[in-house]
Structure 1
Amino acid sequence: MRLNDKVALVTGFGSGMGRAISLRFAEEGAKVAGLSRSVEAGQESLRQVRAKKGEAAFFPTDVRDAAQIQAAVDQTVQTYGRLDIVVNCAAVRITGTATDISVEDW
């Protein structure tokens, strides 16, 4: 397992690429902290990760709100003791490079 004992925070956890990445990370041994606006979709992703014997936590989060993101990061660190990987797969369209956009747009 290439990600054994790593902690990954994944936005867009509720569906699509975010869910797929979370499932793959769990298969590779990572503990997954999943963020999604949709509680129902997030709970389904959590169920799928756990069905594959993966370890995960779900934090309902609107990634357009910096305070909610910070709270989710804090909850992740409180739950798992650290944070090693962040994957931003939330369905928000902002044009620009990661180094050129503001924290608010990120």
Structure 2
Amino acid sequence: MRVDNFVHPDERKVVDERRIKMLKLFSKIATAMCILMYVSYIPQIQANFSGNPVNPLQPLVAMINATLWVGYGWCKTYKDWPIIISNIPGVIFGLVTVVTVYIH
């Protein structure tokens, strides 16, 4: 027998509201961390421009991954904006990093 069956409906509502607040908080933190992860390519881009090119494999794979996640978030029935917003910088910074490896 499930424990939920013994919880009063009002208490269940409070638990659901807490869960929703927690998910919103996790979504905001995850979005910010994802954006920061991609912004961290700036030193690699600077290294490329200064004549010390980095290996393009990791930024290329990250760009492809971010592109796939943006596509996934965009194609859902209801657009998943946290996924889209957090991965667009990955497409941009990944592309710029890869391009600047070859153009410096």
TM-score range, shorter chain: under 0.3
Q: Indicate the structure whose relative CO is greater, using CA pairs within 8 Å and at least 6 residues apart.
A: 2
Q: Based on CA coordinates, which of the two structures has the bigger radius of gyration?
A: 2
TM-score by length of 1: 0.25
- Structure with a larger share of its residues in strand: 1
